[in-house]
Amino acid sequence: AGEEIDETTSRAQAEMSEIMVSLPRCSVYFTRQYRGFWIREFVLEGMAAAQASFEPRPTDVFLASCPKSGTTWLKALAFATLNRATHSPSDSDHPLRHHNPHDCVRFLETRPVPETMALPSPRLLATHLPCSLLPSRITECGRVVYVCREPKDAMVSFWIYSNKIAAVLRRQLGLEAPLPTFGEAFELFCKGQSSSGPNWCHALEYWEESRRRPGKVLFLKYEEMLQDPIGNVKNLAAFMGCPFSCAEEEAGVVREIVQLCSFEKLKNSEVNKNGNSAMMGVKNDVYFRKGAVGDWKNYMTPEMAARLDKIVEEALQGSGLTF
Protein backbone atom coordinates (compact mmCIF):
# COMPACT_ATOMS: atom_id res chain seq x y z
CA ALA A 1 0.00 0.00 0.00
CA GLY A 2 2.93 2.30 0.82
CA GLU A 3 4.38 1.86 -2.66
CA GLU A 4 0.99 2.53 -4.23
CA ILE A 5 0.71 5.80 -2.29
CA ASP A 6 4.22 6.77 -3.33
CA GLU A 7 3.46 6.15 -6.98
CA THR A 8 0.10 7.99 -6.94
CA THR A 9 1.71 10.86 -5.06
CA SER A 10 4.67 11.17 -7.43
CA ARG A 11 2.37 11.11 -10.45
CA ALA A 12 0.13 13.84 -9.01
CA GLN A 13 3.16 15.99 -8.14
CA ALA A 14 4.64 15.56 -11.60
CA GLU A 15 1.33 16.52 -13.21
CA MET A 16 1.11 19.61 -11.02
CA SER A 17 4.69 20.65 -11.94
CA GLU A 18 3.65 20.49 -15.58
CA ILE A 19 0.43 22.48 -15.05
CA MET A 20 2.16 25.01 -12.82
CA VAL A 21 4.43 26.54 -15.45
CA SER A 22 1.45 27.83 -17.40
CA LEU A 23 -0.22 29.47 -14.38
CA PRO A 24 0.08 33.22 -13.65
CA ARG A 25 3.03 33.79 -11.32
CA CYS A 26 3.84 36.34 -8.63
CA SER A 27 7.63 36.57 -8.51
CA VAL A 28 7.62 38.37 -5.16
CA TYR A 29 6.15 35.50 -3.16
CA PHE A 30 6.82 32.56 -5.55
CA THR A 31 3.10 31.93 -5.82
CA ARG A 32 0.94 30.81 -8.74
CA GLN A 33 -2.72 31.59 -9.24
CA TYR A 34 -4.57 28.30 -9.10
CA ARG A 35 -8.38 28.13 -9.11
CA GLY A 36 -8.64 31.69 -7.85
CA PHE A 37 -6.00 31.51 -5.10
CA TRP A 38 -2.32 32.50 -4.98
CA ILE A 39 -0.49 29.47 -3.66
CA ARG A 40 3.25 29.02 -3.09
CA GLU A 41 4.79 26.85 -5.80
CA PHE A 42 6.16 24.21 -3.43
CA VAL A 43 2.78 24.08 -1.69
CA LEU A 44 0.97 23.37 -4.98
CA GLU A 45 2.94 20.17 -5.41
CA GLY A 46 2.25 19.11 -1.82
CA MET A 47 -1.41 19.93 -2.32
CA ALA A 48 -1.56 17.74 -5.41
CA ALA A 49 0.03 14.90 -3.46
CA ALA A 50 -2.49 15.26 -0.63
CA GLN A 51 -5.41 15.48 -3.04
CA ALA A 52 -4.27 12.28 -4.71
CA SER A 53 -3.55 10.06 -1.77
CA PHE A 54 -4.35 11.48 1.66
CA GLU A 55 -7.09 9.48 3.39
CA PRO A 56 -8.82 11.32 6.25
CA ARG A 57 -10.20 9.61 9.34
CA PRO A 58 -13.37 10.67 11.20
CA THR A 59 -11.23 11.51 14.25
CA ASP A 60 -8.93 13.93 12.32
CA VAL A 61 -8.91 17.57 13.34
CA PHE A 62 -7.64 20.08 10.78
CA LEU A 63 -6.52 23.54 11.84
CA ALA A 64 -7.02 25.81 8.86
CA SER A 65 -6.04 29.44 8.36
CA CYS A 66 -4.71 32.01 5.98
CA PRO A 67 -1.07 32.75 6.87
CA LYS A 68 -0.53 35.28 9.69
CA SER A 69 -3.98 34.86 11.20
CA GLY A 70 -3.09 33.11 14.43
CA THR A 71 -2.09 29.67 13.12
CA THR A 72 0.78 29.24 15.58
CA TRP A 73 -1.45 30.10 18.53
CA LEU A 74 -4.28 27.83 17.38
CA LYS A 75 -1.81 24.97 16.88
CA ALA A 76 -0.54 25.41 20.43
CA LEU A 77 -4.02 25.64 21.98
CA ALA A 78 -5.44 22.68 20.06
CA PHE A 79 -2.36 20.54 20.72
CA ALA A 80 -2.37 21.31 24.45
CA THR A 81 -6.13 20.71 24.69
CA LEU A 82 -6.26 17.47 22.73
CA ASN A 83 -3.23 15.95 24.47
CA ARG A 84 -3.91 17.11 28.04
CA ALA A 85 -4.36 13.57 29.34
CA THR A 86 -0.84 12.67 28.23
CA HIS A 87 0.79 16.06 28.81
CA SER A 88 -0.57 18.12 31.68
CA PRO A 89 -0.34 21.82 30.78
CA SER A 90 1.45 22.47 34.08
CA ASP A 91 4.09 19.84 33.24
CA SER A 92 7.58 21.38 33.09
CA ASP A 93 8.33 18.85 30.36
CA HIS A 94 5.32 19.76 28.20
CA PRO A 95 6.27 19.51 24.47
CA LEU A 96 5.20 23.14 23.93
CA ARG A 97 7.86 24.28 26.39
CA HIS A 98 10.56 22.68 24.24
CA HIS A 99 9.18 22.70 20.70
CA ASN A 100 7.70 25.34 18.45
CA PRO A 101 3.95 24.74 17.85
CA HIS A 102 4.68 24.22 14.13
CA ASP A 103 6.83 21.24 15.03
CA CYS A 104 4.03 19.80 17.20
CA VAL A 105 1.33 20.17 14.51
CA ARG A 106 2.52 19.97 10.91
CA PHE A 107 0.96 21.21 7.67
CA LEU A 108 -0.67 18.59 5.45
CA GLU A 109 0.60 20.17 2.25
CA THR A 110 4.27 20.42 3.22
CA ARG A 111 4.75 16.99 4.75
CA PRO A 112 5.18 13.73 2.80
CA VAL A 113 1.74 12.08 2.65
CA PRO A 114 2.94 8.65 3.92
CA GLU A 115 4.31 10.36 7.04
CA THR A 116 0.98 12.04 7.74
CA MET A 117 -0.88 8.82 7.02
CA ALA A 118 1.22 6.96 9.58
CA LEU A 119 0.30 9.26 12.49
CA PRO A 120 -1.79 7.64 15.22
CA SER A 121 -5.41 8.73 15.78
CA PRO A 122 -6.65 11.24 16.67
CA ARG A 123 -4.51 13.19 14.21
CA LEU A 124 -4.10 16.93 14.60
CA LEU A 125 -3.09 18.48 11.28
CA ALA A 126 -2.91 21.95 9.83
CA THR A 127 -3.44 23.55 6.45
CA HIS A 128 -3.17 26.93 4.75
CA LEU A 129 -5.05 25.58 1.71
CA PRO A 130 -8.36 27.23 0.82
CA CYS A 131 -11.39 25.08 1.58
CA SER A 132 -12.02 24.52 -2.14
CA LEU A 133 -8.52 23.09 -2.62
CA LEU A 134 -8.60 20.68 0.31
CA PRO A 135 -9.19 17.08 -0.69
CA SER A 136 -13.01 17.06 -0.48
CA ARG A 137 -12.83 13.90 1.63
CA ILE A 138 -11.52 16.03 4.52
CA THR A 139 -14.54 18.28 4.96
CA GLU A 140 -16.82 15.27 4.54
CA CYS A 141 -15.00 13.10 7.03
CA GLY A 142 -12.93 14.96 9.63
CA ARG A 143 -13.42 18.22 11.53
CA VAL A 144 -11.96 21.60 10.66
CA VAL A 145 -11.17 24.54 12.97
CA TYR A 146 -10.63 27.77 11.07
CA VAL A 147 -9.09 30.93 12.48
CA CYS A 148 -9.40 34.22 10.65
CA ARG A 149 -7.92 37.64 11.35
CA GLU A 150 -8.85 41.17 10.40
CA PRO A 151 -7.24 41.56 6.94
CA LYS A 152 -5.37 44.85 7.60
CA ASP A 153 -3.57 43.33 10.59
CA ALA A 154 -2.96 40.12 8.63
CA MET A 155 -1.48 42.20 5.79
CA VAL A 156 0.99 43.99 8.07
CA SER A 157 1.97 40.75 9.77
CA PHE A 158 2.44 39.06 6.37
CA TRP A 159 4.65 41.85 4.99
CA ILE A 160 6.98 41.77 7.99
CA TYR A 161 7.08 37.97 8.09
CA SER A 162 7.70 37.48 4.38
CA ASN A 163 10.57 39.93 4.39
CA LYS A 164 12.08 38.03 7.31
CA ILE A 165 11.82 34.64 5.63
CA ALA A 166 12.88 35.87 2.19
CA ALA A 167 16.53 35.14 2.94
CA VAL A 168 15.69 31.58 3.99
CA LEU A 169 13.57 30.95 0.90
CA ARG A 170 16.37 32.29 -1.26
CA ARG A 171 18.82 29.84 0.26
CA GLN A 172 16.48 26.82 0.39
CA LEU A 173 14.80 27.12 -2.97
CA GLY A 174 17.63 28.81 -4.81
CA LEU A 175 15.31 31.68 -5.73
CA GLU A 176 15.79 35.39 -5.78
CA ALA A 177 13.28 37.01 -3.47
CA PRO A 178 13.03 40.74 -4.00
CA LEU A 179 11.88 42.45 -0.81
CA PRO A 180 8.74 44.51 -1.46
CA THR A 181 8.29 47.89 0.18
CA PHE A 182 5.19 48.25 2.36
CA GLY A 183 3.43 50.12 -0.46
CA GLU A 184 4.21 47.37 -2.97
CA ALA A 185 3.11 44.63 -0.60
CA PHE A 186 -0.10 46.53 0.08
CA GLU A 187 -0.90 46.79 -3.64
CA LEU A 188 -0.27 43.06 -4.07
CA PHE A 189 -2.41 42.22 -1.03
CA CYS A 190 -5.31 44.30 -2.37
CA LYS A 191 -5.10 42.30 -5.61
CA GLY A 192 -5.30 39.12 -3.57
CA GLN A 193 -1.62 38.38 -4.04
CA SER A 194 -0.50 37.15 -0.64
CA SER A 195 0.26 33.58 0.29
CA SER A 196 -3.07 31.68 -0.05
CA GLY A 197 -4.79 34.97 -0.96
CA PRO A 198 -7.11 36.67 -1.53
CA ASN A 199 -7.07 36.59 2.25
CA TRP A 200 -10.78 37.46 2.60
CA CYS A 201 -11.88 34.86 0.00
CA HIS A 202 -9.98 32.24 2.01
CA ALA A 203 -11.96 33.21 5.12
CA LEU A 204 -15.22 33.43 3.17
CA GLU A 205 -14.97 29.87 1.86
CA TYR A 206 -14.47 28.42 5.35
CA TRP A 207 -17.15 30.73 6.75
CA GLU A 208 -19.65 29.39 4.25
CA GLU A 209 -18.61 25.81 4.96
CA SER A 210 -19.01 26.46 8.71
CA ARG A 211 -22.55 27.65 8.10
CA ARG A 212 -23.34 24.65 5.90
CA ARG A 213 -21.83 22.16 8.37
CA PRO A 214 -21.58 23.74 11.83
CA GLY A 215 -20.71 20.42 13.47
CA LYS A 216 -17.83 19.91 11.04
CA VAL A 217 -16.29 23.38 10.75
CA LEU A 218 -15.68 25.68 13.72
CA PHE A 219 -15.01 29.28 12.68
CA LEU A 220 -12.90 31.33 15.11
CA LYS A 221 -11.68 34.92 15.03
CA TYR A 222 -8.22 35.91 16.27
CA GLU A 223 -9.55 39.10 17.87
CA GLU A 224 -12.29 37.24 19.75
CA MET A 225 -9.76 34.69 20.95
CA LEU A 226 -7.62 37.48 22.38
CA GLN A 227 -10.65 38.95 24.11
CA ASP A 228 -11.90 35.68 25.59
CA PRO A 229 -9.26 32.95 25.37
CA ILE A 230 -10.91 30.80 28.07
CA GLY A 231 -14.32 30.75 26.36
CA ASN A 232 -12.76 30.00 22.99
CA VAL A 233 -10.63 27.15 24.32
CA LYS A 234 -13.69 25.61 25.95
CA ASN A 235 -15.53 25.79 22.61
CA LEU A 236 -12.53 24.35 20.84
CA ALA A 237 -12.34 21.42 23.24
CA ALA A 238 -16.04 20.64 22.91
CA PHE A 239 -15.81 20.84 19.12
CA MET A 240 -12.78 18.53 19.01
CA GLY A 241 -14.76 15.96 21.03
CA CYS A 242 -12.81 16.40 24.29
CA PRO A 243 -14.86 18.87 26.40
CA PHE A 244 -13.47 19.96 29.75
CA SER A 245 -15.14 18.29 32.71
CA CYS A 246 -16.41 20.38 35.64
CA ALA A 247 -13.56 18.97 37.72
CA GLU A 248 -11.02 20.11 35.12
CA GLU A 249 -12.54 23.55 34.98
CA GLU A 250 -12.51 23.83 38.76
CA ALA A 251 -8.89 22.68 38.86
CA GLY A 252 -7.98 25.50 36.46
CA VAL A 253 -6.90 23.30 33.53
CA VAL A 254 -8.37 25.65 30.91
CA ARG A 255 -6.54 28.61 32.43
CA GLU A 256 -3.30 26.62 32.50
CA ILE A 257 -3.64 25.81 28.79
CA VAL A 258 -4.30 29.45 27.96
CA GLN A 259 -1.25 30.48 29.96
CA LEU A 260 0.99 27.80 28.45
CA CYS A 261 0.03 29.02 24.96
CA SER A 262 0.00 32.74 25.71
CA PHE A 263 1.96 35.05 23.43
CA GLU A 264 4.33 36.05 26.25
CA LYS A 265 5.03 32.47 27.34
CA LEU A 266 5.64 31.16 23.83
CA LYS A 267 7.62 34.18 22.62
CA ASN A 268 9.91 34.11 25.65
CA SER A 269 10.62 30.39 25.78
CA GLU A 270 14.18 29.41 24.93
CA VAL A 271 13.14 27.27 21.93
CA ASN A 272 11.18 30.12 20.36
CA LYS A 273 13.75 32.81 21.14
CA ASN A 274 16.79 30.96 19.81
CA GLY A 275 15.65 27.72 18.15
CA ASN A 276 15.08 26.91 14.51
CA SER A 277 11.86 25.42 13.19
CA ALA A 278 12.21 21.95 11.70
CA MET A 279 9.36 22.88 9.37
CA MET A 280 10.92 25.63 7.28
CA GLY A 281 14.38 25.99 8.74
CA VAL A 282 13.54 29.55 9.77
CA LYS A 283 14.19 30.94 13.23
CA ASN A 284 11.25 30.27 15.52
CA ASP A 285 11.11 33.89 16.60
CA VAL A 286 9.61 34.89 13.22
CA TYR A 287 6.28 33.47 14.43
CA PHE A 288 6.05 35.84 17.40
CA ARG A 289 6.04 39.58 16.83
CA LYS A 290 3.43 41.74 18.63
CA GLY A 291 0.32 39.59 18.87
CA ALA A 292 -1.90 42.67 19.02
CA VAL A 293 -5.04 44.04 17.40
CA GLY A 294 -4.90 47.20 15.28
CA ASP A 295 -1.16 47.37 14.55
CA TRP A 296 -2.12 48.29 10.96
CA LYS A 297 -2.57 51.87 12.21
CA ASN A 298 1.22 52.11 12.52
CA TYR A 299 1.73 51.18 8.85
CA MET A 300 -1.28 52.19 6.71
CA THR A 301 -2.57 55.63 5.89
CA PRO A 302 -6.32 56.11 6.54
CA GLU A 303 -6.77 56.10 2.72
CA MET A 304 -5.06 52.74 2.37
CA ALA A 305 -7.14 51.31 5.22
CA ALA A 306 -10.38 52.60 3.69
CA ARG A 307 -9.43 51.12 0.32
CA LEU A 308 -8.72 47.65 1.69
CA ASP A 309 -11.81 47.77 3.92
CA LYS A 310 -13.93 48.53 0.86
CA ILE A 311 -12.48 45.64 -1.18
CA VAL A 312 -13.11 43.24 1.69
CA GLU A 313 -16.57 44.59 2.43
CA GLU A 314 -17.65 44.23 -1.19
CA ALA A 315 -16.34 40.68 -1.41
CA LEU A 316 -18.10 39.62 1.80
CA GLN A 317 -21.35 41.43 1.15
CA GLY A 318 -24.39 39.37 2.10
CA SER A 319 -22.33 36.54 3.58
CA GLY A 320 -22.82 37.51 7.22
CA LEU A 321 -19.03 37.47 7.74
CA THR A 322 -17.57 40.70 9.09
CA PHE A 323 -14.21 41.59 10.60
Kindly list the catalytic residues. Answer: 128
Binds ligand A3P by CB under 6 A, chosen from 9, 13, 31, 71: 71
Closest distance between ligand A3P and the C-beta of residue 135, in Å?
22
Contacting ligand A3P within 241-270 (CB under 6 A): 261-263, 266
Binds ligand A3P by CB under 6 A, chosen from 295, 299, 311, 315: 295
The verdict on 67 binding ligand A3P (CB under 6 A) reads yes
User: Helix/strand/coil (H, E, C) string of the chain?
Assistant: CHHHHHHHHHHHHHHHHHHHCCCCEECCCCEEEECCEEEEHHHHHHHHHHHHHCCCCCCCEEEEECCCCCHHHHHHHHHHHHCCCCCCCCCCCCHHHHCCHHHHCCEHHHCCHHHHHCCCCCCEEEECCCHHHCCHHHHHHCEEEEEECCHHHHHHHHHHHHHHHHHHHHHHHCCCCCCCCHHHHHHHHHCCCCCCECHHHHHHHHHHHHHHCCCCEEEEEHHHHHHCHHHHHHHHHHHCCCCCCHHHHHCCHHHHHHHHCCHHHHHCCHHHHHCECCCCCCEHHHHCCCCCCCHHHHCCCHHHHHHHHHHHHHHHCCCCCCC
Closest distance between ligand A3P and the C-beta of residue 223, in Å?
10
Q: How far is 166 from 319, CA to CA, in rounded Å?
A: 35
Contacting ligand A3P within 118-177 (CB under 6 A): 153, 157, 160
The verdict on 68 binding ligand A3P (CB under 6 A) reads yes
Closest distance between ligand A3P and the C-beta of residue 317, in Å?
26
How many residues touch ligand A3P (CB under 6 A)? 21
Binds ligand A3P by CB under 6 A, chosen from 9, 69, 110, 162: 69
Report CA-CA distances (Å) from 178 to 29, 41, 43, 119. Answer: 9, 16, 20, 38
Q: In this complex, which beta carbon is closest to ligand A3P, that of residue 275 or of residue 291?
A: 291
The verdict on 81 binding ligand A3P (CB under 6 A) reads no
State CA 127 to chain mean position distance.
Answer: 6
Contacts (Cβ under 8 Å, ≥6 apart) of 282: 164, 165, 168, 276
Q: In this complex, which beta carbon is closest to ligand A3P, that of residue 242 or of residue 280?
A: 280
Binds ligand A3P by CB under 6 A, chosen from 114, 243, 275, 291: 291
The verdict on 110 binding ligand A3P (CB under 6 A) reads no
Q: Which stretch binds ligand A3P (CB under 6 A): 67-75, 162-170, 198-206, 244-252?
A: 67-75
Binds ligand A3P by CB under 6 A, chosen from 73, 107, 159, 200: 73
Q: In this complex, which beta carbon is closest to ligand A3P, that of residue 117 or of residue 286?
A: 286
Q: In this complex, which beta carbon is closest to ligand A3P, that of residue 12 or of residue 222?
A: 222
Q: Please, is 122 exposed, middle or buried when counting C-beta atoms within 10 Å of its C-beta (0-12, 13-18, 19+)?
A: middle
State CA 87 to chain mean position distance.
Answer: 23
Binds ligand A3P by CB under 6 A, chosen from 13, 31, 51, 72: 72
- Give me the residues paired with residue 283 across strands: 276
The verdict on 299 binding ligand A3P (CB under 6 A) reads no
Q: Which stretch binds ligand A3P (CB under 6 A): 35-43, 69-77, 298-306, 311-319?
A: 69-77
User: Site mask, ligand A3P, residues 192-231, x = CB under 6 A?
Assistant: ----------------------------------------
Q: In this complex, which beta carbon is closest to ligand A3P, that of residue 233 or of residue 253?
A: 233
Binding site for ligand A3P (CB under 6 A): 65, 67-73, 153, 157, 160, 261-263, 266, 287-291, 295
